[in-house]
Amino acid sequence: LRWASSSSQPGQTESDPGEGQVYLSGSCVKRLLEITEGSEFLRLQVEGGGCSGFQYKFSLDTVINPDDRVFEQDGARVVVDVDSLAFVKGSMVDFSQELIRSSFQVVSNPQAEKGCSCGTSFSVKF
């Protein structure tokens, strides 16, 4: 497994295990390097909804907000806001390619109690 460092402020890299990490798989890094240009990065957000209570939302973005944490590996970046980070810390972002779809996914989420079969929603451990 590979890991990326978190930055507490945009542009700065800081490894603070208390803040939580988001890890990037090799396939995630490879795909991000293929599809992003310049200052683009993958944004991961957690929203209420989905069949299990919460759902992951991925988008390409270019703006890093003050409450964002940046996880970077080999030039590929995933950005997570502080509120969403509480739901995904310790998780891995992976890129999966199958016959019927290809997508970024959150895998091995220690904050999730159970997820739906499609892998886009989850319920939180209490």
**30 C-beta neighbours (distance < 10 Å), count:** 13
Domain annotation covers residue 81: yes
Q: What are phi and psi of 42, to 5 degrees?
A: -90, 125
Q: Determine the average pLDDT of the residues in 42-46.
A: 96
For 58, the domain range is: 23-109
Domain annotation covers residue 17: no
Domain annotation covers residue 10: no
Number of domains in the chain: 1
Cβ(17)–Cβ(86) below 8 Å: no
Domain annotation covers residue 69: yes
Residue 89's pLDDT is 93
Domain annotation covers residue 71: yes
**59 C-beta neighbours (distance < 10 Å), count:** 10
Domain annotation covers residue 94: yes
Name the residue with higher pLDDT: 77 or 13. 77
pLDDT in tens, 101-122: 899 999 888 887 755 555 555 5
Domain annotation covers residue 11: no
- Provide the CATH number for the domain around residue 96: 2.60.300.12
Supply 63's token pair. Answer: 């703006």
